[in-house]
Amino acid sequence: MFLKGKSAIITGSTSGIGLAYAKALAAEGCAVMINGFGDANAIEQERAGLEALSGAKALYDAADMSKPDQIAAMVARAQSELGGADILISNAGIQHVAPVDEFPPEKWDAIIAINLSSTFHLMRAAIPAMKAKKWGRIITTASAHSLVASPNKAAYVAAKHGIAGLTKTVALETAIHGITVNCISPGYVWTPLVENQIPDTMKARGLTREQVMNDVLLAAQPTKQFVHPEQVAALALFLCRDEAASITGANYAMDGGWTAA
């Protein structure tokens, strides 16, 4: 358990990729603070499971990632109850799809706030304690859309390109403090959110399940395979190791070859 004695904040971690991050860290003895929305009983079950897995504390914080004051309060709580956030994984995100001339301004504002600005507020609050310890790991979940664009996703693509730039900038600023800052850019990941979109797409387009998966969702991924949350989490776990101390400012594509062209 190489993360015993360490603690982590993972945002957007009540399901999907974020929960996979939390489980991977907890399995190595890390105390974790999860965050996100969902059914209270289901969240408590996951929290208790993480505590049993790690043998350390596991906390849940309901901070809204669009609210800077709540983000600051969550980081302060991690400091007081977990001894800080040695590892920060910024993963919360939302999506809206529409042509730019029809894109609701309030949706743009919400996506930029949650997908991009929240990461700035998290870093700003968490880095002082990392500097004091001379050790820290910051990992941001970007997307293949941090490297390439798709139509009708102006806010999402702008936010993810912004995450890639923010990651590189903060990596340079913290390089002499024992802190690494990297982002992981997955393609389509097999999560409940993606799986639940399939029936509606089948109905709307008159396609079979296999056609939706291969010709719609996986059209851009040469492997024709979904990325799995556990694969993303395994890379994040490696980036927390001492062997990864010289890896900073990197953007790791994990997209089945989507961005290779």
Tokens 């049993």 sit at which residue?
Answer: 52
Active site residue 156: yes
Among 60, 156, 188, 252, the active-site one is 156
108: helix, strand or coil: helix
Residues 150, 156, 158: CA angle, nearest 5 degrees:
85
Residue of 178, 132, 133, 138 lying closest to 8 (CA atoms): 138
Residue 99 CA: distances (Å) to CA of 102, 127, 249? 5, 37, 32
Among the listed residues 224, 31, 6, the one whose alpha carbon sits nearest the alpha carbon of residue 130: 6
Q: Classify residue 152 as left (phi > 0), alpha (psi -120 to 50) or beta.
A: left
Active site (catalytic) residues:
156
